Amino acid sequence: MKIVVPIKRVIDHNVRVRPTADGTGVDSTSVKMAINPFCEIALEEAVRLKERGLASEVLVVTIGTAAAQEQLRGALAVGADRALLIETERALEPLAVARTLTRVVEEERPGLALLGKQAIDSDDNQVGQMLAALLGWPQATFASAVELEGEKARVTREVDGGMVTLELALPAVVTADLRLNEPRYARLPDIMKAKKKPIERRTLEEMALDLPAQTEVLAVETPTPRQRGVILDSVDALIDKLRNVEKVIR
Amino acid sequence: MSSLILIEHHDGRISPACARVVAAARKLGAPIEALVAGYRVEEVAAQAARLDGVSRVLVADDARYADQLAEPLATLLAAHAKRYGYLLAAASTFGKDVLPRAAALAGVGQISEVIEVVDPATFKRPIHAGALVATVRSDAPLKVLSIRATAFESVGEQAPAPIETVEAQGEALGARFVESHREASERPELTAARVVVSGGRGLGSKQNFSLLEGVAGKLDAAIGASRAAVDAGYVSNELQVGQTGKIVAPDLYIAVGISGAMQHLAGMQGAKVIVAINRDEEAPIFQVADYGLVGDLFELLPELERKL
Ligand SMILES: Cc1cc2nc3c(=O)[nH]c(=O)nc-3n(C[C@H](O)[C@H](O)[C@H](O)COP(=O)(O)OP(=O)(O)OC[C@H]3O[C@@H](n4cnc5c(N)ncnc54)[C@H](O)[C@@H]3O)c2cc1C
Ligand SMILES: Nc1ncnc2c1ncn2[C@@H]1O[C@H](COP(=O)(O)O)[C@@H](O)[C@H]1O
């Protein structure tokens, strides 16, 4: 069984992001880029399933600029078998990403599509659910455990009230939450080997999909920061402030 | 064109977030209807009908919705979507699971985590874990919005709106509910509590984490945690506050032994008053805290509990 893992190149989570000078985008010039952390977790899970003999091939795919090859190489170095870049300069909305991935899935016919639950740049949390809808597949979002048994996947999901376990008939879509696993680091020899592996490339245009933009970003701003408060010298002073100044406790 | 709100409910009660989603919908200026899908949900429908601003409640009562699986719910929602200008749900794990699936079936995009309605086509939403706020305009005939509930004040009650039954539809597509684990707690629910006391890695152990119980008890507070505390196994995941956990906006948030990473701040910066207790005066949490105590939490917490 093949597993497809869609990954996204994003600004590294440690970078303090800023709006662009014209205030309509996010400044990504010369900042550190990385694989979206949730995609890393999805990939790690796919590689582990393969190592346990439950999957035969792991295909990573990204829709993005030529620079995203860096993240695909990173994915090859930690155990992906094949990498596909669908090249475009456009920043696609989640529905357009899902439509493009639907085409890839229809061609590749995997038993499982494993995605991150959300991209930490746009924080959309949509693509996996949309992909499942377009394919007519069952879904398990926010996975913290995935087991494969024959034609079925048993997935534990992290939800607001605790945990829910679902069973899905394959093929299915699963999106990874933080606690699914801890991704490994690439070893140097594997990084060297990954440099030689081919990356399949095609352009988004040649796929001839109809992907109209539905939204326009009018502005990107830094929210007004909270004012730094005061350091108090005793528990008594704190209780006094909360009780008599803020009136948030009795 | 009206708005349709997908009602979230558990064990016969609507989620408190619904009253906040109605508040967001009221800003759109369109008539508001609510969709209740579940099994034996008469009482839920009655509660939805009393949310101030709802003009009609649609009820799909059928065993296929008993486990609130996204597959049949999204199909049902998308089938009704054609008649509406907006589809809304809370950006809870439930809303996040169902709404994008319904949007894709309806052939439109979604705007996630709306925190402000600027005008009927323009919305503000946080991106990059709240480090930035984007203003987004949508031209889609059907706008699908997930609402960050804490950004809106709950609506009150009204005389019940009419309730109508609609036909059940949608299949599970091979998904099956197996079991659920909910941690029983006497503490108030995290996202609805007036006071939240959260602990981080600084607590050091599962046993120490229970030190928070004393203070929380005195303040009738919910207990929260940083990701580091959850990962270390001090508490279970549903207590995590932050970018990938819950978003809280209580009157008072007390962060104990939490450094204040961006991803944590993303979940609690909306609190009215923030208190930080940390032994490192350089900890970033002090940059957002209204009041700070620098010192050993193992001394400060028991003292706080005693004096409250
Ligand atoms: C994609 C992504 C998503 C994430 N999502 C979240 C999220 O949703 N929520 C979240 O919280 N984190 C999230 N994180 C993790 C986040 O980056 C931090 O690692 C985490 O918040 C740190 O938790 P902490 O503050 O408890 O631990 P630490 O950073 O280790 O801080 C512990 C603090 O305790 C203090 N301390 C220690 N001992 C004492 C003592 N005896 N008395 C007083 N103070 C003491 C220390 O001075 C320190 O400041 C995410 C990370 C990533 C990459
Ligand atoms: N441009 C992209 N290329 C490939 N996969 C993507 C892309 N954007 C999002 N995804 C996948 O969808 C997941 C959820 O992203 P989102 O819905 O945008 O928050 C990510 O973790 C990826 O697995």
On whether residue B171 sits in a domain, the answer given is: no
Would the pLDDT of B99 be above 90?
A: yes
Q: What CATH number does residue B243 fall under?
A: 3.40.50.1220
What value does the mean pLDDT of chain B take?
A: 96
B37 and B115 share a domain? yes
Q: Name the region of A109 (left: φ>0; alpha: ψ -120 to 50; beta: rest).
A: left
For the stretch A186-214, pLDDT in tens is: 999 999 999 988 999 999 999 999 999 99
Could you give the 3-state DSSP secondary structure of residue B247? coil
B27 and B128 share a domain? yes
Q: Are residues A165 and B180, on separate chains, in Cβ contact within 8 Å? A: yes
What is the number of domains present in chain B? 2
Would the pLDDT of A7 be above 90?
A: yes
B201 and B255 share a domain? yes
- List the single residue in A93, A137, A167 with the smallest CB-CB distance to B178: A167
Alpha-carbon span A136 to B101, nearest angstrom: 10
A132 contact residues in B (CB cutoff 8 A): 70, 101
B300 and B206 share a domain? yes
Q: Which residues line ligand 2 (CB under 6 A)?
A: A 6-8, 36, 38-39, 42, 62-64, 94, 97, 115-116, 118-119, 122, 124-128
> What pLDDT is recorded for position B244?
86
Give the residue from A189, A196, A179, A176 showing the smallest Cα distance to A78. A189
For the stretch A13-53, pLDDT in tens is: 999 999 999 999 999 999 999 999 999 999 999 999 999 99
Would the pLDDT of B186 be above 90?
A: no
Concatenating the DSSP letter of every residue in B92-146 gives SHHHHHHHHHHHHHHT--EEEEE-EEEETTEEEEEEGGGTEEEEEEE--SSEEEE
Q: B90 near B96, Cβ under 8 Å?
A: no
B26 and B110 share a domain? yes
Q: What CATH number does residue B93 fall under?
A: 3.40.50.620
> What pLDDT is recorded for position B185?
74
B252 and B155 share a domain? no
Would you report the helix, strand and coil content of chain A in percent, each value rounded to 5?
A: 30, 30, 40
Q: B57 near B164, Cβ under 8 Å?
A: yes
Q: How many CA atoms lie within 13 A of B175 on its CB side?
A: 31
State the residue range of the domain holding B220: 195-307
On whether residue B125 sits in a domain, the answer given is: yes
Would the pLDDT of A225 be above 90?
A: no
On whether residue B174 sits in a domain, the answer given is: no
B9 and B136 share a domain? yes
Q: Are residues B74 and A226, on separate chains, in Cβ contact within 8 Å? A: no
B156 and B229 share a domain? no
Walk me through the domains of chain A, giving residue ranges and CATH numbers: 2-218 (3.40.50.620)
> What pLDDT is recorded for position B114?
98
> Which pTM was predicted?
0.95
On whether residue B179 sits in a domain, the answer given is: no
- Whether A94 has its CB under 8 Å from any CB of chain B: the answer is yes
> What pLDDT is recorded for position B271?
95
B205 and B161 share a domain? no
On whether residue B170 sits in a domain, the answer given is: no
Could you give the 3-state DSSP secondary structure of residue B286? helix
B11 and B131 share a domain? yes
> What pLDDT is recorded for position B167?
98
Would the pLDDT of B39 be above 90?
A: yes
Instruction: Calculate how close chain A gets to B38, using CA atoms only, in Å.
Output: 17
Q: Predicted confidence band at B241 (pLDDT cuts at 50, 70, 90)?
A: very high
Would you report the helix, strand and coil content of chain B in percent, each value rounded to 5?
A: 30, 30, 35
On whether residue B188 sits in a domain, the answer given is: no
Would the pLDDT of B183 be above 80?
A: no
> What pLDDT is recorded for position B20?
97
Give me ligand 1 centre to Cα B261, in Å: 6
For the stretch A42-96, pLDDT in tens is: 999 999 999 999 999 999 999 999 999 999 999 999 999 999 999 999 999 999 9
On whether residue B74 sits in a domain, the answer given is: yes
Counted residue by residue, chain A has a size of 250
Would the pLDDT of A155 be above 80?
A: yes
B206 and B245 share a domain? yes
Q: B142 near B13, Cβ under 8 Å?
A: no
On whether residue B240 sits in a domain, the answer given is: yes
